[in-house]
Amino acid sequence: MDNKQQTDWHSQAPETVLERLNVKLGLGLNSDEARQRMATAGRNRLTAPRGKGPLLLLLAQFNQPLIYILLLSAATTAFLEEWTDSSVIFGVVIINAAIGFIQEANALKAINALAQTLNISTNVLRDGQRRSLAAEELVPGDLVFLQSGDKVPADLRLLQCRELKIDESALTGESVPAEKQAQTLPLSTLLADRCNMAYSSTLVSYGSALAVVVTTGDHTEIGRINRLIASAEPLETPLTRKMSQFSQLLLWVIIGFALLTFAVGVWRGETMLDMFMASVALAVGAIPEGLPAALTITLAIGVSRMAKRNAIIRKLPAVETLGSTTVICSDKTGTLTQNQMTVQFVYAGGEDFEVSGSGYTPDGDFRSNHRSLNPEQKPALLECLKAGLLCNDARLIADVDNWRIEGDPTEAALLVAAHKAGLHHASVSDDHPRLDAIPFESEYQFMATLHHNLTEDARHIYLKGSLESLLERCDNAFSADMQAVPLDKNRLLQQAEAFAGQGLRVLAFARTEHDDDAIEHHEVRSGLTFLGLQAMMDPPRPEAAKAIAACYRAGIAVKMITGDHPVTALAIAKQLSMRHTERVVSGAELQAMEEADYRELVQNCDVYARIAPEQKLQLVRALQANGHVVAMTGDGVNDAPALRQADIGIAMGMGGTEVAKEAAAMVLTDDHFATIEAAVEEGRGVFDNLVKFIAWTLPTNLGEGLLITAAVFANVALPITPLQILWINMTTAVLLGLMLAFEPKEPGLMRRKPRSPKQPILTKHLMFRICLVGFLLLTGAFGLFEWELSHNEPLAVARTVSVNVFVFGELFYLFNCRSLQYSMFHVGLFSNPWLIFGVILMTLLQLLFTYWPPMQALFGSAAIGCDEWLLILAVSVVIYATIGLEKLLVRLWSRRR
Which residues carry out catalysis?
Answer: 331
Neighbours of 65 (CB within 10 A): 17
Cα distance between residue 708 and residue 700, in whole Å: 12
Reduced to 3 states (helix: H, G, I; strand: E, B; else coil), residue 186 is: coil
Q: Which residues contact 171 (CB under 8 A, 6 or more apart)?
A: 191, 199, 201, 202, 221, 222, 225, 613, 636, 637, 638
Q: What is the DSSP letter of 151?
A: B
- For residue 410, CA distances in Å to 177, 344, 533 come to 10, 12, 14
As a residue count, the chain comes to 897
Host H or E run for residue 621: helix 613-625
CA-only gyration radius of the chain, Å: 35
Q: Which residues contact 783 (CB under 8 A, 6 or more apart)?
A: none
**In sequence order, what are the beta bridge partners of 403?**
398
Measured CA to CA, the distance from residue 470 to residue 445 in angstroms comes to 9
Residue 673: CA count within 13 A, CB half-sphere: 29
As a whole number of angstroms, the distance between CA 497 and CA 494 comes to 5
Provide the 3-class DSSP secondary structure of residue 206. Answer: strand
- Cα torsion angle, 861, 867, 868, 872, sign: positive
From 486, 464, 468, 490, select the one nearest 477 (Cα to Cα).
486
Other residues' Cβ atoms within 10 Å of the Cβ of residue 844: 11
Distances (CA, A) of 335 to 61, 332, 357, 554: 35, 6, 18, 20
Decide: helix, strand or coil at residue 580: coil
Q: Are strands 630-634 and 366-368 parallel, antiparallel or unpaired?
A: unpaired
Question: How many CA atoms lie within 13 Å of 356's alpha carbon, on the beta-carbon side?
Answer: 11
Nearest Cα residue to 155 out of 138, 179, 173? 138
Three state DSSP letters for 311-352:
EEECCCCHHHHHHHCCEEEECCCCCCECCCCEEEEEEECCEE
Query: Rounded to whole angstroms, how far apart are CA atoms 301 and 483?
Result: 68
CA distance 113 to 111: 5
Backbone angles phi, psi at 704, to 5 degrees: -65, -40
Largest CA distance in the chain: 120
User: Roughly how many angstroms between the first and final C-alpha of the chain, as a whole number?
Assistant: 73
Measured distance CA(534)–CA(495) in Å, rounded: 11
Q: Tell me which long-range contacts 522-529 makes (C-beta under 8 A, separation of at least 24).
A: 523/461, 524/438, 524/446, 524/448, 524/461, 524/463, 524/473, 525/473, 526/473, 526/475, 527/473, 527/475, 528/463, 528/470, 528/473, 528/474, 528/475, 529/474, 529/475, 529/476, 529/477, 529/478, 529/484
Q: Which residues are bridge partners to 354 per DSSP?
A: 345, 367
